[in-house]
């Protein structure tokens, strides 16, 4: 990705898209380049911010060398935000969302499982259907219809298991909580961040619970999605922590009733 030309305008963009990254210096730059290509001609403005979640210094240096800040059309790439230690994906997203203003705050997984054209389509659909920023939007991997989803049966089974357990913990529909593409109204962040900080891999269901507690509707949007190699989440290594996190969310939901 070659360096874009600098931007002089200071207007608040419609979207801030955070890409949380950990040791992704190899696969994130091509995805970032495809996002810029897709979004530069969009009829809305998007800032993209890579947040590195405490990768080793060498990885962070490679990431900075590959991710040039600057503007191309209606898409601006901000200088990467480098966190000093690994705090799991949720905290990296929050740090990015806090760092710069936008009407909408979004994140997408850095592996590119939600391709750039889908990101543009969904952001445009949200902008057109909800100009008042009244709701939030969780992308879900479509189980039927024209949108193709490619993933292994083992990952599908684990995802459905997590969604079922999260739905029970939150007393909510068992939606596809782990799909890594979500958009919230920027104005809602101050009310939400205290409730979702430190939730680690349970950031997504914690965000759902916080939005519901704040009276902000959560709408689901089916997307095309493709599993990517090199994932860093393991059911055996991270599963116990996820279960503990869901138990904490269940206790939080039940707390006021006691």
The pLDDT, as a whole number, for residue 173 is 74
Read off the tokens for 18.
Answer: 């955070």
d(CA 134, CA 143): 27
Could you say which of 3.40.50.300, 3.50.30.30, 3.40.50.720, 3.90.550.10 is the CATH number of the domain covering 15-253?
A: 3.90.550.10
Pairing mode of beta strands 81-83, 46-53: parallel
157 Cβ neighbours under 8 A, 6+ residues apart:
none
Q: So what's the pLDDT on residue 7?
A: 42
| Whole-number pLDDT of residue 258 | 37
CA pair distance 24, 110, nearest whole angstrom: 7
Look-up: residue for tokens 């040039």?
68
Please check whether residue 246 is in contact with residue 163, taking contact to mean a CB–CB distance below 8 angstroms.
no
pLDDT at 254: 67
* Tokens 């809602």 belong to residue: 188
Which pLDDT does position 35 carry in this prediction?
97
Residue with token string 């089974």: 157
pLDDT recorded at residue 159: 67
Contact assessment for residue 35 and residue 116, using Cβ atoms and an 8 Å cutoff: yes
Distance (Å, whole) CA 53 – CA 127: 29
Structure tokens at 220: 């689901």
Q: Are 11 and 103 in contact (CB under 8 A)?
A: no
Q: How confident is the model at residue 252, as a pLDDT?
A: 72
The pLDDT, as a whole number, for residue 218 is 94
| Tens-level pLDDT at each residue, the chain (258 residues) | 444 444 434 589 999 999 999 988 888 999 999 999 999 999 999 999 999 999 999 999 998 988 889 999 999 999 999 999 887 788 899 999 999 999 999 999 998 889 999 999 999 999 999 999 999 999 998 665 556 666 555 565 666 776 677 666 676 776 777 778 999 999 999 999 888 877 677 888 889 889 998 999 999 999 987 776 655 555 545 556 666 666 776 677 666 543
Query: What local confidence, expressed as pLDDT, does residue 236 receive?
Result: 46
């Amino acid at each position: 990705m070659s360096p874009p030309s600098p931007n002089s305008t200071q207007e608040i963009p419609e979207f801030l898209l955070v890409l949380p990254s950990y040791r992704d210096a190899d696969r994130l730059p091509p995805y970032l380049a495809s996002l810029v290509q897709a979004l530069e001609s969009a009829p809305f403005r998007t800032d993209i911010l890579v947040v590195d979640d405490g990768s080793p210094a060498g990885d962070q240096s490679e990431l900075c060398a590959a991710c040039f800040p600057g503007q191309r059309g209606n898409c601006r790439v901000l200088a990467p935000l480098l966190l000093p230690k690994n705090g799991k994906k949720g905290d990296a997203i929050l740090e990015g969302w806090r760092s710069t203003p936008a009407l909408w705050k979004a994140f997408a997984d850095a592996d590119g499982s939600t391709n750039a054209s889908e990101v543009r389509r969904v952001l445009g659909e949200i902008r057109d259907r909800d100009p008042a920023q009244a709701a939030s939007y969780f992308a879900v991997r479509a189980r039927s219809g024209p949108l193709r989803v490619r993933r292994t049966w083992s990952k599908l089974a684990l995802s459905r298991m997590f969604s079922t357990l999260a739905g029970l913990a939150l007393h909510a529909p068992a939606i596809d909580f782990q799909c890594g593409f979500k958009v919230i109204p920027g104005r809602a962040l101050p009310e939400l961040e205290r409730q979702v900080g430190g939730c680690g891999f349970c950031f997504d269901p914690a965000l759902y619970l916080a939005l519901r507690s704040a009276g902000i509707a959560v709408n689901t949007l089916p997307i095309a999605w493709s599993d990517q190699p090199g994932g860093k989440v393991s059911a055996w290594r991270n599963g116990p922590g996820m279960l503990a996190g869901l138990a904490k969310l269940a206790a939080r939901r039940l707390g006021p009733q006691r």
